Amino acid sequence: MMRVKSVRKRLSEIASGIEIVNHVGDQDTLIQGMVMDSRQVQPGDLYACVPGMNVDGHDFAAQAIAQGAAALLVERILPLDIPQLQVKKVREVMGNLAANLYDHPAAKLEVVGVTGTNGKTTITYLVESIAAGEGKKVGLIGTLGARIAGRELPGNRTTPEAIDLQKLLKEMVDEGVQLAVMEVSSHALVFGRVTGCEFDAGIFSNLTQDHLDYHKTMEEYLQAKAQLFSGLTGVKEPKVGVVNGDDPAAETLIRLSAAPVVTYGVNADLLDYRAEDILLTADGVKFTVRFKGGESQVEYSTPGMFSVYNALAAFAWGVESGRSPGQVREALAAVQGVPGRFESVRMGQPFQIIVDYAHTPDGLENVCRTAQEFTQGRLITVFGCGGDRDKGKRPQMGAIAEELSDHVIVTSDNPRTEDPRQIIRDILEGIEGIDYTANVNRREAIECACLLAKEGDTVLIAGKGHEDYQIIGKDVFPFDDREVAREALRRLGYVG
């Protein structure tokens, strides 16, 4: 559990500016930390009783007290002898309470938020490279965990919970970080995880189908994403929104943004940053970006049209935030790829193996089309869909894989509590006519693909990318697509 440098504040201090419904007990009680998981309580902590979908944090308040909690944040006063702050919605205020406790760390950083369905992780890496290229200490938060000036920290959410985010930002400040860039998921925005965090810039990549198990409609999904831009308010100036002008969501985001917005893209009219003279190769992308300040040649080492958009988004942010085009260009050229994003596995085999995180219809289509461009032989695609998640995208992804691949192997992703065989059946509803294989065992599916591959073929293993685990039921097992592919290649006699 993360424990930042010592803090000691009175309960009444950290409640400043918060709408308190009621309170009991000594409001001068000293608070030294804040948590929402009773198992992580340490002496002196404020325990936030968060009602959840399956469990209610109020039910664990006694356990938190036994472990040394000094006070409770509640939605109803509990019959317990301990200071309590009662609020209407714990989730809505705990970010601001944590920001008060940890001295508003976001106010001491340049904070960049990146949202969208696909491309968030890559764009954060590109922003990190741009800031680091000018000598700044940088913090990064996202799907791959967190990084503080190059030091890796584990994480299990794209965007940490509100309290953990404030702790992480405080740790960054304590270590001299000057800029923090983070992925901001739709769930994070809806659940208030970034409450108490003032952003200097928001970047939007794209909006395609995902998370409709929660948001229900694309409009609801869009409105969730838009909160990053409507929330570009506060005392830090100037602020800017950077939006993909080729995406249909751009008009809504521009209208709702509280800060000025610049657009980037390839096709739309009146773009502020436009990519032209695009060259797509197996080694990456090259293009000219034209903008109000002139033009610049950009190179980035990950192939695919999606890489043009990702690099263009980072370029636009860099220039709009005051960096020179030359420095931004050099920083983008220096990035050597992102783990699990169109990542090659090479052990001397005469065919390509690509591992990618593509887990949405749009993501799978993009990565399949990119792989097609550089495949002389057949494209063999291995993928599945996550359990307990948007079921509507499963047949769509099956249809996309069928259309763009020569052979499809449908397998498990993270089935979670669903029957993996049913998930596969859902995917197969979109597959008609093509020769396909179905195997619930992901390891065997990857091995099968490697056995089928001939010289000039490409094996695309999609869906999990950087992940080094597989979730089956409620258990987490070690599993890394890249390492499983290497093991299969070793058994075939390739040694790298």
CATH number assigned to the domain comprising residue 25:
3.40.1390.10
The verdict on whether residue 288 carries a ligand-binding annotation is no
280 in any annotated domain:
yes
238 upstream amide cis, omega within 30 of 0: yes
Same domain, 121 and 75: no
Same domain, 96 and 125: no
85 in any annotated domain:
yes
Q: Over the stretch 369-417, which tens digit does the pLDDT of each residue have?
A: 999 999 999 999 999 999 999 899 999 999 999 999 999 999 999 999 9
Judge contact between 204 and 247, C-beta under 8 A.
yes
Distance CA 311, CA 286 (A): 10
1 in any annotated domain:
no
- In this structure, what CATH number is given to the domain that contains residue 435? 3.90.190.20
The verdict on whether residue 155 carries a ligand-binding annotation is no
Same domain, 126 and 235: yes
- Domain's final residue, options 84, 101, 118: 101
Same domain, 89 and 110: no
The verdict on whether residue 375 carries a ligand-binding annotation is no
Same domain, 112 and 69: no
Same domain, 293 and 358: no
Judge contact between 150 and 131, C-beta under 8 A.
no
496 in any annotated domain:
no
Q: Over the stretch 412-462, which tens digit does the pLDDT of each residue have?
A: 999 999 999 999 999 999 998 778 999 999 999 999 999 999 999 999 999
Same domain, 298 and 442: no
Residue 279: pLDDT above 90? yes
**Kindly report the CA angle at 218 between 213 and 221, in degrees rounded to 5?**
70
Residue 18: pLDDT above 60? yes
The verdict on whether residue 121 carries a ligand-binding annotation is yes
Distance CA 256, CA 251 (A): 9
pLDDT of the residue at 68: 98
The verdict on whether residue 81 carries a ligand-binding annotation is no
Distance CA 412, CA 421 (A): 8
The verdict on whether residue 381 carries a ligand-binding annotation is no
The verdict on whether residue 103 carries a ligand-binding annotation is no
Residue 211: pLDDT above 80? no
- Domain's final residue, options 60, 85, 101: 101
Same domain, 393 and 379: yes
Distance CA 4, CA 35 (A): 12
- In this structure, what CATH number is given to the domain that contains residue 111? 3.40.1190.10
The verdict on whether residue 394 carries a ligand-binding annotation is no
Q: What is the dihedral of CA 425, 429, 430, 435, to 10 degrees?
A: 70
User: Model confidence at 155, in pLDDT bands (50, 70, 90)?
Assistant: confident
Going by C-beta distance under 8 Å and a sequence separation of 6 or more, which residues neighbour residue 151? none
Residue 2: pLDDT above 60? no
The verdict on whether residue 415 carries a ligand-binding annotation is yes
- Domain's final residue, options 73, 101, 129: 101
The verdict on whether residue 193 carries a ligand-binding annotation is yes
Please report where in the chains the tokens 């404020």 appear, as a residue: 46
Q: Over the stretch 216-235, which tens digit does the pLDDT of each residue have?
A: 688 898 999 999 999 999 99
The verdict on whether residue 248 carries a ligand-binding annotation is no
Residue 496: pLDDT above 80? no
Number of domains forming the structure of the chain? 3
Q: Over the stretch 62-103, which tens digit does the pLDDT of each residue have?
A: 999 999 999 999 999 999 999 999 999 999 999 999 999 999
User: Model confidence at 212, in pLDDT bands (50, 70, 90)?
Assistant: low
| Alpha helical stretches, state H, 344-386 | 361-373
**Kindly report the CA angle at 216 between 460 and 227, in degrees rounded to 5?**
90
Neighbour count for residue 18 (Cβ, 10 Å) = 15
3 in any annotated domain:
no
The verdict on whether residue 159 carries a ligand-binding annotation is yes
The verdict on whether residue 416 carries a ligand-binding annotation is yes
**In residues, how long is the chain?**
496
Distances (CA, A) of 482 to 293, 447, 487: 42, 12, 9
Neighbour count for residue 282 (Cβ, 10 Å) = 11
HEC readout, 75-144: CCCCCCCCCEEECCCHHHHHHHHHHHHCCCHHHHCEEEEEECCCCHHHHHHHHHHHHHHCCCCEEEEECC
DSSP-derived secondary structure for 202-234: EEE----S--HHHH-SHHHHHHHHHHHHHT--S
2 in any annotated domain:
no
Same domain, 457 and 322: no
How is residue 329 written in tokens? 């260009």
Distance CA 310, CA 206 (A): 10
pLDDT of the residue at 215: 47
4 in any annotated domain:
no
Cα torsion angle, 423, 425, 430, 435, sign: positive
The verdict on whether residue 414 carries a ligand-binding annotation is yes
Same domain, 365 and 483: yes
pLDDT of the residue at 216: 65
pLDDT of the residue at 5: 66
Residue 309 CA to its chain's centroid (Å): 17
How is residue 214 written in tokens? 């929660």
Residue from 175, 174, 155 nearest 165 by CA: 155
Please report where in the chains the tokens 């209407």 appear, as a residue: 88
The verdict on whether residue 116 carries a ligand-binding annotation is yes
pTM score: 0.93
Same domain, 163 and 248: yes
Same domain, 329 and 180: yes
The verdict on whether residue 467 carries a ligand-binding annotation is yes
45 in any annotated domain:
yes
Q: Look up the domain containing 453 and give its range.
A: 343-491
pLDDT of the residue at 157: 78
User: Model confidence at 127, in pLDDT bands (50, 70, 90)?
Assistant: very high
pLDDT of the residue at 105: 98
Q: Over the stretch 289-323, which tens digit does the pLDDT of each residue have?
A: 999 989 999 999 999 999 999 999 999 999 999 99
